[in-house]
Amino acid sequence: FERVLPAGETYRVPEQTGLSMRTGNAGGLEITVDGVAAPPIGRMGMVRRNVALDAQALLAGSAVRD
């Protein structure tokens, strides 16, 4: 699945293991897990690949695997 999210749009991640994402603007993302803000995954304009879409890893700040 590949998709570009316009500013302000949200995406609800399916409850499935092994999912990851790629972003061309890591600092432009606001990631929340069950209403709790996750730490940033990078700076504005930073490319990130292979970011684990795992709730615990996102909240712990350990989701970036590249």
The answer to whether the CB of 35 falls within 8 A of the CB of 16 is no
Count the domains in the chain: 1
- Specify the pLDDT at position 65: 87
DSSP β-bridge partners for residue 20: 52
Q: What is the pLDDT of residues 33-64, one digit of tens each?
A: 999 999 999 999 999 999 999 999 999 999 99
Residue numbers of the domain that contains 34:
1-66
* 2 vs 18: which has the higher pLDDT: 18
Nearest in space to 55 (alpha carbons), one of 26, 29, 28, 35 = 35
pTM for the whole structure: 0.87
**pLDDT value of residue 52:** 97
Whether residue 6 has pLDDT greater than 80: yes
